[in-house]
Amino acid sequence: MSRALYPHPLIAREGWPYLSGITGAALLVTLMNGVAWAIPLWIAALFVLQFFRDPARAVTAAPNAVVSPADGRIVAVMPVTDPWLQRPAVKISVFMNVFNVHSNRSPVDGEVLAVHYHPGSFVNADLDKASEHNERNAVCLRTTSGHEISCVQVAGLIARRILCYVQPGSVLVRGQRYGFIRFGSRVDVYLPPGAHVRVAIGDKVSAALSVLAELS
């Protein structure tokens, strides 16, 4: 089944203030001093434009599939203890650099059980210790088949703002947009131990399109 889930504009709303501000400044400098003086501002505007792009995604996957919640590169696949659900789990981590799309999407169909925000530091999100030390926001979900997973937004070296738009009781479908992280970060997904992992470290993945694992 293919589901087009896109209730948001092509350029994420989170970026509108940044884009309008820097574009306005670039226009002003261009009018007052000429294009040459405004080139750095126009370059910055292009960077902001590409960072906040948020393309539509059609989700095509089996009902038991866990799709990637973010664009990026797999930096961890390991057995751990889920710190939010307090049980053994398989952790799959997706690192997002500043050139990836930073919109976050639900990896499964399910209901939000809990949302936990934890303040922290801002070490490089490419490092595994970022999962324990950085600012992070965890969304715990129960799938329609009864599995419980945690999906954790983790701030990075540059990121200073995690945005999450769901609360306990919210019902999400796979690929549905639920949050955003500004300027470099990672997302950790904690799955039940019996999950069949379909990715490896170094793989590049796309939010809502790439299958990280299948739940038994």
Extract the tokens encoding 2.
């293919």
Strand stretches in the chain, DSSP E: 2-4, 58-60, 65-67, 72-82, 87-96, 103-105, 110-118, 136-143, 148-155, 162-164, 171-172, 177-181, 185-191, 196-197, 204-205, 211-214
- Tell me: pLDDT of 178 over 70: yes
Other CB atoms within 10 A of residue 146 CB: 8
- Tell me: pLDDT of 87 over 90: yes
Going 9 to 58 to 155 to 146, the CA torsion angle's sign is positive
Q: For 148-173, write each residue's pLDDT tens digit.
A: 999 999 986 655 578 899 999 999 99
Question: What is the share, in percent, of the chain residues with pLDDT greater than 70?
Answer: 85
Q: How far is Cα 211 from Cα 62, in angstroms, rounded to an integer?
A: 9
Q: Could you give the domains of the chain?
A: 1-56 (no CATH), 63-214 (2.70.70.10)
Query: Averaging pLDDT over each range in 8-17, 19-28, 58-67, 156-165, which range is the top one?
Result: 19-28
Q: How far is Cα 6 from Cα 53, in angstroms, rounded to an integer?
A: 13
pTM recorded for the entire structure: 0.84
| Residue 122 contacts residue 156 (beta carbons within 8 Å) | yes
Which one is catalytic: 68, 93, 150, 185? Answer: 185
Mean pLDDT score of the chain, rounded to an integer?
Answer: 86
Residue 42: CA count within 13 A, CB half-sphere: 11
- Tell me: pLDDT of 2 over 50: no
121 is catalytic: no
Q: How far is Cα 199 from Cα 162, in angstroms, rounded to an integer?
A: 26
